[in-house]
Amino acid sequence: PSVSVDDKKFSLGIIKTMVPGGNIVQHVQTIRNIIARDDDVLICTYPKSGTHWIWEIVSMLRKRKAEYDPRIKETAMLEFLSKDQMEAMESPRNLNTHFPLRMLPKDLLEKKRKIIHVMRNPKDVAVSLYHHFKSLKIGEGSVYPGTFSEYLSLFYSLDMGAKGGWNKYVTDFEKFAKDNPDYPILPLYFEDIKEDPKREITKVAKFLDVPYTEEFITAVAERCDFENLKKAHQEIKDDYITRKVAHDGKQFMYRKGIVGDWKNWFTVAQNELFDETFERWMSGSELKFKFSL
């Protein structure tokens, strides 16, 4: 069956439901002009690349306590915040966003506030995003009514604002870091955090100038491990977003949290096409993605 969503309307429709006032252009303008604070940190991710995970890690590190933040990360997400809310936030602000590089607050970039950019292999991103869209609702229905196969053809050109797809989002950051070698930007990979959380969390602590002990890093890694974080999300946090937008009331922020679930979804032919596309996308890029561990 054909899907009655064209990809432009599809992605804009979702973003529209998220921004204060419902006017994307105006909201991006507002965000572009917010004033940076000395201790602002900005987490940038293409959707479904591990934003919740890194946000909690950063939040614990900066608090210097391995304790969950009772808030959900959306309380510090540029897409959701009005100017007043941004200004009223207490410091330090652990801001996070899926906005592409070209939409980031100018003042933060000019003042060189630290950026953490988390990337994930695009096959797992595609699968995770498919489930995300399936479980989001607009009105009474799911945002995305189609099958995985139909969705996958949308993913190739799904433009979340970068004027290109997933590849444009990640390579824009890569180019930015190359062109601005003195800019404090830390690229991380979901797969690396999964493979050795303590090693990667230590990297983040160093990047943020947070003093640490082995014990503290171990505690952060354990607390932020998938099962523990999922439980904390359900038991400690006030997840008003899921209550508002979950299609069938299902928890969709913490689904499986593994590397390589794409193998359960891609057919051989889909995988071949994806590999070809990936190779084309990444020619000229030095980013290295792991599709399994």
Query: Which residue is at the shortest CB distance from ligand A3P?
Result: 257
Cβ pair 293, 194 in contact under 8 A: yes
Work out which of 257, 271, 273, 291 binds ligand A3P, going by CB under 6 A.
257
Rounded distance, CA 229 to CA 57, Å?
10
DSSP 8-state class, residue 163: S
Q: Whose Cβ is closer to ligand A3P: residue 52's or residue 62's?
A: 52
Closest-CA residue to 242 (of 148, 139, 132, 144) = 132
Cis peptide before 92 (omega within 30 of 0): yes
CA atoms 162, 252, 124, 196: torsion sign: positive
262 binds ligand A3P (CB under 6 A): no
**Catalytic residue check, 132:** no
Q: What residues does 244 pair with on adjacent strands?
A: none
Using CB under 6 A as the binding rule, whether residue 237 contacts ligand A3P is answered as: no
The answer to the question of residue 49 lying near ligand A3P (CB under 6 A) is: yes
CB 196 → ligand A3P: shortest distance, Å? 13
Q: Is 156 in the site for ligand A3P (CB under 6 A)?
A: no
Sequence-separated (6 or more) residues with CB below 8 Å from residue 240 = 72
Place of tokens 């995985």: 148
| Cβ closest to ligand A3P, residue 208 vs residue 253 | 253
Catalytic entry in 52, 98, 131, 233? 98
Instruction: Give yes or no for a contact between 119 and 170, defined as CB atoms under 8 angstroms apart.
Output: yes
Residue number, 45 or 171, with CB nearest to ligand A3P: 45
The two tokens of residue 33 are: 């002009």
The correct pick among 37, 48, 117, 237 for binding ligand A3P (CB under 6 A) is 48
Interface residue with ligand A3P, options 19, 30, 53, 186 (CB under 6 A): 53
Q: Which two tokens stand for residue 279?
A: 């190779």
What does the alpha-carbon distance between residue 266 and residue 221 come to, in Å, rounded to a whole number? 31
131 makes contact with ligand A3P (CB under 6 A): yes
Applying the rule CB under 6 A, the residues between 60 and 99 that interact with ligand A3P are none
State yes or no: residue 134 binds ligand A3P (CB under 6 A): no
Among 9, 112, 250, 256, contact with ligand A3P (rule: CB under 6 A): 256
CB atoms within 10 A of CB 274: 20
**Is 254 a residue that touches ligand A3P (CB under 6 A)?**
yes
Instruction: Determine if 239 is a binding residue for ligand A3P (CB under 6 A).
Output: no
Residues carrying an active site annotation: 98
Q: Which residues bind ligand A3P (CB under 6 A)?
A: 45, 47-53, 124, 128, 131, 224-226, 229, 254-257, 261
